[in-house]
């Protein structure tokens, strides 16, 4: 679930995703996935972000919901979702290989 309140406050205050990622700390791509609801934002991260924005956590917090695939989802949507996940997996595997190479050198 996208974090609309978080994104709105971030933009209103004039901060980039990179600036918020630095506060957590995490990579900007990881923060983007958090803001887009693909990765859970931890309680500690919510608190750090709220302090950075100088707002109460309640002003930016939005709960995470598990992704449930029901029979109501059409086959076409499921295939598109699977394709998206496969692309993300390939990108992550490439990053893992790069990191392994860095460690081994």
Mutual orientation of helices 28-35 and 4-12 as an angle, nearest 10°?
120
For 18-64, the pLDDT digits (tens) are 999 999 999 999 999 999 888 899 999 999 999 999 999 999 999 87
Domain positions in the chain are: 4-60, 70-105
Q: Domain 4-60 is classified in which CATH homologous superfamily?
A: lambda repressor-like DNA-binding domains (1.10.260.40)
Per the CB < 8 A criterion, the answer to whether 51 and 20 are in contact is: no
Confidence of residue 65 (pLDDT cuts 50, 70, 90): low
For 77-105, the pLDDT digits (tens) are 777 778 888 888 999 999 999 999 999 98
């Amino acid at each position: 679930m996208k974090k609309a309140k978080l994104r709105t406050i971030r933009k209103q205050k004039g901060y980039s995703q990179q600036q918020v990622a630095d506060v957590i700390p995490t990579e900007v791509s990881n923060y983007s996935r958090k803001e887009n609801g693909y990765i859970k934002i931890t309680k500690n991260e919510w608190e750090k972000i709220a302090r950075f924005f100088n707002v109460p956590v309640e002003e930016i917090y939005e709960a995470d919901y598990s992704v449930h695939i029901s029979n109501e989802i059409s086959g076409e949507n499921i295939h598109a979702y699977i394709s998206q996940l496969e692309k993300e997996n390939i990108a992550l595997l490439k990053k893992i290989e790069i990191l392994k190479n860095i460690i081994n050198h």
